[in-house]
Chains A and B, each alone.
Chain A
């Protein structure tokens, strides 16, 4: 059932409740001029509901016997026949020709394609108590075979105007407006920060829903000839599939980055299977949307288990979307889906704003945290005590230590404002810290980082923090060599491994401030798309592993 048809039924039904419904019609393939006459005996024709008549690839007649209820005013409110079908036709009312749509013919060469949605004016003088509507149909120009070429055949008051169509379409216009605004906002976010994949996915998602909505609405505003119906339906399906995959990609990106690839592949595969196996365009479209919502729910559930903020709300939205789609049936695609899409975009919009605001609040806190590391008493006072000792016992070393300390402070203060630094800067910071520690402990400490790409970017001072952690929790009697390695994971992520000699007796991971800082920094830059592991790697080694996107 089409959008227009539905709209007409619901609005006109209340205005004129007494119009008879057209259901069963007489059907016959072929052509004969006498079949248009009112009194022709069609008793031996096949009887079936009009929506089961198929004019595709042939010429076919239908005759509808219509009995007018007494007292129905067809003079001041003239009667119209609203006919929506992918077919060309000629029409007769009680044997009098009342109109045509294109030129029906026995073959494609002869047929001129008519419009999809048409209205026939029935002159009041022709209307009697018992009437016959005869239609000669043909449909040779559809590029694909349709399951339901006959979409609607109604009797209503003639003259359903454009302004009424517009009024009907007001919610759709609001939806288009909201989606457009959402798209502009997320697009703007993306162009101001090209690494913001979330915003890119949201931009594309709103664009896909917008495309689907516009392709869907075109019918109400631009009358088109019926062969164009197929490309329009294909366009709607394509946008819906795209929206379904993008929705999964976005929700997975936010809440289950480790599952993103698998979920997106699953969405593409599921959509392909559903498109191949579902009967009509409407069900294909509805099913791909449900598939998208279901797979997004999986990602949201992963997010809930990881305690990601907002995951619950997204799951609720997905469950509601799926539920409405199943409950609403055909209505879903025509109206509910777009209202839902708007609600969803508003929800994501709100969540996005909230996460941006939180990031803004988090940044100064992280900067403060980084500075505090440098002036925390354990580091500062022990360094100064060691320094007084060197100044008194070996002033030359004292001067070296002052230089190293100054360099470390300079290095840290150059990083405080930055969200990311290059690995070159990070390694330099680690090395200058180890120089300070070597002088403080009078033992050699060293960092080797031969396999690390120096131009890659990471949040500031994360490896510095992990090295500091290792120095705090271990007792290195003869100094230590730390190894920082970079490898690529199969998923294309960058993996950094910091290997430190371990003298720890307990295997428990110290969930201290250092780890909190590292995690907060990773979240600040990579959202949920990172992993951090810290634990013993026997014998006598401790591994801190960080996995972040390759970019």
Chain B
């Protein structure tokens, strides 16, 4: 795993680094302490298994600005913060975990495990998408389906607009609410927007969304869905 720590409290950063090394052992591929998000992105850009520890209070600024930008990046973000009263907000924006200061090695292990094992936090209400240098927050309720596009994800909205997200389908799946289902290696659908399952000639199945889009579905996916849709 590749880990970056964005934290301006020197001793806290040192603690995060020390404990991360202890927890990940040989599976830690790289570890950097940085002072800003762009440096963090540089270190994590090309790794599928990448994690950012982010402090929400950097040099007196509102860390949520930084957080929104971080969430649009391909890596997963774990907040380490003294201000626990904004944890719910952070989860809604799509962080994988929120670690309150001060923290123990056990609590940090739990956070790292969530990333390693892809445990779903299921609380995101928005997906952060960077668009022409700006971060746009898309409400998950307005998302019909998400389609895999190499290492990116293609988000399809109810309004027909499409947004490219830097995260993989797997990374996004970890934060999405339960009504989002991975029905295929390359597709996630929002159950709220499913019309029915069609069986094509030759037995292949597709999901017909309410907006008319047809989404391929794997055999296992179809089986799981059909019981739920009836």
A472 within 8 A of B: yes
Query: In whole Å, how far is B21's beta carbon from the nearest beta carbon of chain A?
Result: 12
Asked if residues B102 and A381 are in contact (CB atoms below 8 Å), the reply is yes
Count of interface residues, chain A, beta-carbon cutoff 8 Å: 25
Kindly identify which residue among B9, B18, B59, B60 contacts A382, using a CB–CB cutoff of 8 Å. Answer: B9
Kindly identify which residue among A377, A388, A389 contacts B84, using a CB–CB cutoff of 8 Å. Answer: A377
A160 and B37 alpha carbons, distance in the complex (Å): 96
A442 within 8 A of B: yes
Asked if residues A473 and B11 are in contact (CB atoms below 8 Å), the reply is no
Residues from chain B with a CB closer than 8 A to the CB of A377 are: 82-85
Hey, what's the 0/1 contact readout for B83-105 against A, CB within 8 Å counting as 1? 11100000000000000111110
Asked if residues A475 and B59 are in contact (CB atoms below 8 Å), the reply is yes
Residues from chain B with a CB closer than 8 A to the CB of A442 are: 10-11, 14
Asked if residues B18 and A473 are in contact (CB atoms below 8 Å), the reply is no
What is the predominant secondary structure among interface residues of chain B facing chain A? loop
Residues from chain A with a CB closer than 8 A to the CB of B10 are: 440-443
A93 within 8 A of B: no
- Give the bracket for the number of chain B residues in contact with chain A: 20 to 34
Asked if residues B11 and A439 are in contact (CB atoms below 8 Å), the reply is yes
Residues from chain B with a CB closer than 8 A to the CB of A382 are: 9, 12, 82, 101
A264 and B35 alpha carbons, distance in the complex (Å): 56
B149 within 8 A of A: no
Query: In whole Å, how far is B143's beta carbon from the nearest beta carbon of chain A?
Result: 34
Query: In whole Å, how far is A405's beta carbon from the nearest beta carbon of chain B?
Result: 13
CB closest chain-A residue, reference B57:
A378
CB closest chain-A residue, reference B9:
A382
A488 within 8 A of B: no
Question: Given A377-B82, A382-B82, A442-B14, A475–B103 Cβ distance below 8 Å?
Answer: no
Kindly identify which residue among B14, B35, B60 contacts A510, using a CB–CB cutoff of 8 Å. Answer: B60
A408 and B221 alpha carbons, distance in the complex (Å): 61
Kindly identify which residue among A384, A472, A475 contacts B35, using a CB–CB cutoff of 8 Å. Answer: A475
Query: In whole Å, how far is B56's beta carbon from the nearest beta carbon of chain A?
Result: 10
Asked if residues A388 and B60 are in contact (CB atoms below 8 Å), the reply is no
Residues from chain A with a CB closer than 8 A to the CB of B102 are: 381, 384-385, 387-388
Q: Which of A381, A390, A473 has the most CB of B within 10 A?
A: A381
Hey, what's the 0/1 contact readout for A389-426 against B, CB within 8 Å counting as 1? 11011000000000000000000000000000000000
Residues from chain A with a CB closer than 8 A to the CB of B60 are: 472-473, 510, 512
Asked if residues A390 and B59 are in contact (CB atoms below 8 Å), the reply is no
Query: In whole Å, how far is B13's beta carbon from the nearest beta carbon of chain A?
Result: 10
Kindly identify which residue among B11, B14, B35, B82 contacts A381, using a CB–CB cutoff of 8 Å. Answer: B82
Asked if residues B18 and A475 are in contact (CB atoms below 8 Å), the reply is no
Kindly identify which residue among B11, B35, B82 contacts A390, using a CB–CB cutoff of 8 Å. Answer: B11
A475 and B59 alpha carbons, distance in the complex (Å): 6
A381 and B14 alpha carbons, distance in the complex (Å): 15
Asked if residues A441 and B82 are in contact (CB atoms below 8 Å), the reply is no
Question: Given A381-B82, A381-B100, A472-B59, A388–B9 Cβ distance below 8 Å?
Answer: no
A193 within 8 A of B: no
Query: In whole Å, how far is B41's beta carbon from the nearest beta carbon of chain A?
Result: 19
Hey, what's the 0/1 contact readout for A368-384 against B, CB within 8 Å counting as 1? 00000000011011101
CB closest chain-A residue, reference B8:
A475
Residues from chain B with a CB closer than 8 A to the CB of A390 are: 11
Asked if residues A381 and B101 are in contact (CB atoms below 8 Å), the reply is yes
Residues from chain A with a CB closer than 8 A to the CB of B9 are: 382, 385-386, 440-441
Asked if residues B15 and A388 are in contact (CB atoms below 8 Å), the reply is yes
Q: Which of B1-56 contact A (CB under 8 A)?
A: 8-12, 14-15, 18, 35
A473 and B8 alpha carbons, distance in the complex (Å): 11
A384 and B103 alpha carbons, distance in the complex (Å): 9
Residues from chain B with a CB closer than 8 A to the CB of A386 are: 9, 11-12, 15
Asked if residues A378 and B82 are in contact (CB atoms below 8 Å), the reply is yes
CB closest chain-B residue, reference A381:
B82
Asked if residues A389 and B101 are in contact (CB atoms below 8 Å), the reply is no
Instruction: Please list 7 pairs of residues, one from A and one from B, whose beta carbons are closer than 8 Å in the complex, sorted by A's number.
Output: A377-B85, A381-B101, A382-B12, A385-B11, A385-B12, A386-B12, A386-B15
Q: Which 6 pairs, one residue from A and one from B, show the smallest C-beta to C-beta distance?
A: A381-B82, A389-B15, A386-B11, A385-B102, A381-B101, A377-B82
Q: A381-B101, A392-B15 are in contact. List 9 more A-B contacts (CB 8 A).
A: A377-B85, A382-B12, A384-B101, A385-B11, A385-B101, A386-B15, A393-B14, A510-B60, A512-B60
